[in-house]
Each structure stands twice: as C-alpha cells, then as structure tokens.
C-alpha cells in the first residue's frame, strides 16, 4: 500500500497528541496524564495485524518500539514497560508502549479499559512531547 494513503483513525487522532513521524510509524502520546503512554502507528493503509507488515517493516517497527521503550524508561521513571497490540475497538494497527510504575492508577493490572483518561496540562504535554522528540531523534511534531 502506498504510504500516502495512510490516514490516522479518528479515534486515535481524538485520544492522542502527535509527537512526530519515525521512519515507519507516527509516534503519538496518549492524552492521559495517568500513564506515560505512547502509540506507534505504521503509516501504511489497511494494516490490521502485526503480521500484515513486510519482514523489513516488522524489523523497523521493532526498532521503533525499542527506541520508545528506552525513552520512557530514561525520562519517565518507569518500573516496567508494557507493550500491546490489541485493535479490538480500533482496527487500524497500532502498538501501545506504556511506562508503568508500581504506584500508578492501574498497577499491576493492564491500562487498557482502566477508568477514564485524565488529559495533560498543556505545559506538561508540551514538555513530554519535546522530551520524546529528542529521545527518539525527532526534531518537530507534524
């Protein structure tokens, strides 16, 4: 599928803030101050499952997951990284990278479906986006 056919699913667009575009994925920050929680969305049309990606793109996705995981570990005092690719509600392929802390709101359960999102204060969202952009080699959000 051509890259230019990619459109972010409206539900993902509504729930997140854009951090920027990595080689394969759009990097998003969930607008939920309870957890440092990123989404990686490969910028290709019609992807539903991880194994819909080519082998080369699977390698790129893995590299980007590792990069975001390390960024959250380094900059967000996380205790554990939780990874997930579910897509039961939003069919567009997206990978969750969530920094967990032993005192967070959902610990030790998963974050998915847990309570209500608490939107970021504007300054904190801007700070965190800049931190992630720098840590992942991005210079600006699109």
Q: Is 11 one of the binding residues for a second copy (CB under 8 A)?
A: no
Q: Is 50 one of the binding residues for a second copy (CB under 8 A)?
A: yes
Q: Is 125 one of the binding residues for a second copy (CB under 8 A)?
A: no
Cα separation, 43 vs 23, whole angstroms: 9
Cα separation, 61 vs 96, whole angstroms: 12
Place of tokens 């699109």: 142
Nearest distance from C-beta of residue 100 to a second copy, angstroms: 6
Site string for a second copy, 79-108 (x = CB under 8 A): -xxxxxxxxxx----------x------xx
Q: Is 24 exposed, middle or buried (0-12, 13-18, 19+ CB in 10 A)?
A: buried
Per CB under 8 A, the list member of 10, 23, 59, 115 interacting with a second copy is 59
CA distances (Å), origin 15, targets 4, 28, 54, 109? 22, 9, 28, 21
Per CB under 8 A, the list member of 5, 45, 66, 126 interacting with a second copy is 66
8 A C-beta contact, residue 132 and residue 29:
yes
Q: Number of residues in contact with a second copy, rule: CB under 8 A? A: 28
List contacts with a second copy (CB under 8 A): 48-51, 58-59, 62, 65-66, 69-70, 80-89, 100, 107-110, 112-113
């Amino acid at each position: 599928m051509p890259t230019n056919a990619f459109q972010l699913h409206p539900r993902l667009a509504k729930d997140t803030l854009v951090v920027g575009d990595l080689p394969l994925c759009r990097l998003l920050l969930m607008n939920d101050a309870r957890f440092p929680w990123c989404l990686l969305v490969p910028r290709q049309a019609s992807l539903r499952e991880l194994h819909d990606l080519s082998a080369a793109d699977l390698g790129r996705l893995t590299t980007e997951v590792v990069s975001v995981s390390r960024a959250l570990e380094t900059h967000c005092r996380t205790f554990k990284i939780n990874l997930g690719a579910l897509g039961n509600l939003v069919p567009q392929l997206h990978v969750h990278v969530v920094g967990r802390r032993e005192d967070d709101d959902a610990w030790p359960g998963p974050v998915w479906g847990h309570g209500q999102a608490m939107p970021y204060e504007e300054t904190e969202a801007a700070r965190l986006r800049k931190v992630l952009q720098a840590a992942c080699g991005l210079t600006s959000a699109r």
